[in-house]
A and B are shown apart, each in its own frame.
Chain A
């Protein structure tokens, strides 16, 4: 135990002085979520504000006079006397934003209480153009509808017989949990793996590449203790990377502008002590599993470059189950509870939503512990072979 602790302490000091590992395992995971969420939110709101206030150039073809009045000249620049072909060309070349054309029989049809045909040309790639014009057309239609209701001596209720009122009784935690809970593990599983990857390359392959392993093997300590000291360091760095991701997310939510109070409250409720403890119980064996797995793979590599080429393809394999967990309909049940990584992602989703079944959770933790032990065992088997170490 003393040797494990000695190796662990030395490797931690060594690893924490490695800028590359610090960047991958601590800085990047901590900053990614705040930058992504805050940046995206700021960018989106700025773009939307700009698009909403932009004066749209709209061509009108055979439009009734009262429709043109619906278009606020402060927000729309109206163009008249243009052909359909010219209008389409100008929209394509971005010199016109949209064109609204009323059918020749439109006025007649409206007079006969029939439906009047209105065409709208726009580019869906221009944000909000369609929405802003649809809103104007809808308002105009509402006025026409009011006129008809009045002419026929009807009431609004007469043409709208069903008044459907929806009640979403899913707790806010569950609603947000299903949304964020799927995305969160995707991020922290990847960072946990990457967090394990760099120290593993440095502490296992690096030791071989630098030639320090030879001297280390002449000390009166078992190979198992030396390996365990290393695997625990690797796992702790991986665990820190995962926790930094979660911490980054919490910070991002706390300081995210324009976040509705109820969502903020729900998020604060989710990230409680129970959530943290339940997550920890899964993350610890998962990080040891990653640590053992990567160590077993890189122990055969003679150089850092060779080790990277061995581990990089595996990082893609780790992403796959995390992505599967994002798919709708994939839930934690007896078929998915033992699938590594997928089970962690699904269990996190359920924990956040508050819908996890205790037996499923226990099975996930148990299977992760078994996997971690197997990974460490395989890693020790590899580390014990002199052909692998030297």
Chain B
């Protein structure tokens, strides 16, 4: 379970950043006091336009970024006071297949298993299960640098799931991927849900959201402007498409924020 309570994140701006953003402010609020809850066995989707604060929120949950104020609990562990306990519970996956080019899938997954403190027999068994399931065995000794994006994405998944996390965080997981590779991710999200894991993912692809999520929240300019179950969202905007519903929600919130 993920419990986000009044979480805020403020970034200090360097001279270069001030110039780029054409502002004189010394800091910028990326996320403003947002609160929501993600339940086990359900998929929670964070929607929002680019720069809305989705990645910042996910990074705060994953303990990559520290909260400026507020609190986040993951499986009842505080990201502020028990970051290592939180990290042990989560799996983090992004759309960009960032791996070590000179290592093989076996070496990478083993490395992350060890960093998660797993013993050899446990991780060997789990690795074998994941590799069989995703068809990694046939290229498990090949170097990452010689692999296709699809193969890399499979290795990324195995790396993120090796410690069998209770909570899985996906940051725009299908962004930039081809249809087949993206489909692997969608399958993985479904499977995590079936296994009773808590899943949170950010996206701006409404078809994916429609297909997968049980609950959703829309973030705009750092504010949480909408949150509900997917069923309620569909009923609320029954006369228009989901994409139009999303755009309308964001625009209404912008008008409200600017007023």
A163 touches B (CB below 8 Å) = no
Give the residues in chain A near B84, CB-CB below 8 Å.
220-222
B247 touches A (CB below 8 Å) = no
Closest 5 CB pairs of A and B: A211-B98, A219-B115, A220-B87, A17-B102, A220-B84
B160 touches A (CB below 8 Å) = yes
Given A6-B114, A220-B88: A18 touches B99 (CB 8 Å cut-off): no
Chain A residue with Cβ nearest B62? A218
Give the residues in chain A near B117, CB-CB below 8 Å.
2, 220
Name the one of A14, A214, A220, A387 contacting B103, with C-beta atoms under 8 angstroms.
Answer: A14
Chain B residue with Cβ nearest A18? B102
A220 to chain B, nearest CB (A): 4
B1-24 interface bits toward A, Cβ cutoff 8 Å, 1 = contact, 0 = none: 000000000011000000000000
B256 to chain A, nearest CB (A): 31
CA of A117 to CA of B250 in the docked complex: distance in angstroms? 105
B181 touches A (CB below 8 Å) = no
A13 touches B (CB below 8 Å) = yes
B90 adjacent to A218 (CB under 8 Å)? yes
B107 adjacent to A13 (CB under 8 Å)? yes
Which parts of B43-93 form the interface with A (CB within 8 Å)?
Answer: 59, 62-66, 84-85, 87-88, 90, 92
A214 adjacent to B115 (CB under 8 Å)? no
A210 adjacent to B98 (CB under 8 Å)? yes
Given A215-B160, A220-B84, A387-B12: A14 touches B64 (CB 8 Å cut-off): no
CA of A13 to CA of B114 in the docked complex: distance in angstroms? 15
B116 touches A (CB below 8 Å) = yes
B237 touches A (CB below 8 Å) = no
CA of A6 to CA of B65 in the docked complex: distance in angstroms? 24
Q: Looking at A210, A215, A217, which has the most chain B CB atoms within 10 Å of its CB?
A: A215
Give the residues in chain B near A14, CB-CB below 8 Å.
100, 102-103
A214 adjacent to B107 (CB under 8 Å)? no
Give the residues in chain A near B114, CB-CB below 8 Å.
2, 6
24 contacts between A and B (CB under 8 A): A2-B117, A10-B100, A10-B111, A13-B102, A17-B102, A17-B103, A18-B102, A210-B98, A211-B94, A212-B98, A214-B64, A214-B92, A215-B112, A216-B115, A217-B63, A217-B64, A218-B62, A218-B64, A218-B90, A219-B115, A220-B85, A220-B115, A387-B11, A387-B12
B9 to chain A, nearest CB (A): 10
Chain A residue with Cβ nearest B87? A220
Name the one of B98, B99, B116 contacting A219, with C-beta atoms under 8 angstroms.
Answer: B116
Give the residues in chain A near B94, CB-CB below 8 Å.
211, 214-215
B42 touches A (CB below 8 Å) = no
B96 touches A (CB below 8 Å) = yes
B221 touches A (CB below 8 Å) = no
A66 touches B (CB below 8 Å) = no
B contact residues, total (Cβ < 8 Å) = 32
Give the residues in chain A near B160, CB-CB below 8 Å.
215
B193 touches A (CB below 8 Å) = no
CA of A3 to CA of B115 in the docked complex: distance in angstroms? 6
Give the residues in chain B near A157, CB-CB below 8 Å.
none
B31 to chain A, nearest CB (A): 14
Chain A residue with Cβ nearest B115? A219
A386 touches B (CB below 8 Å) = yes
B159-198 interface bits toward A, Cβ cutoff 8 Å, 1 = contact, 0 = none: 1100000000000000000000000000000000000000
A215 adjacent to B92 (CB under 8 Å)? yes
Give the residues in chain B near A387, CB-CB below 8 Å.
11-12
A6 adjacent to B103 (CB under 8 Å)? no
A5 to chain B, nearest CB (A): 9
Give the residues in chain A near B102, CB-CB below 8 Å.
13-14, 17-18
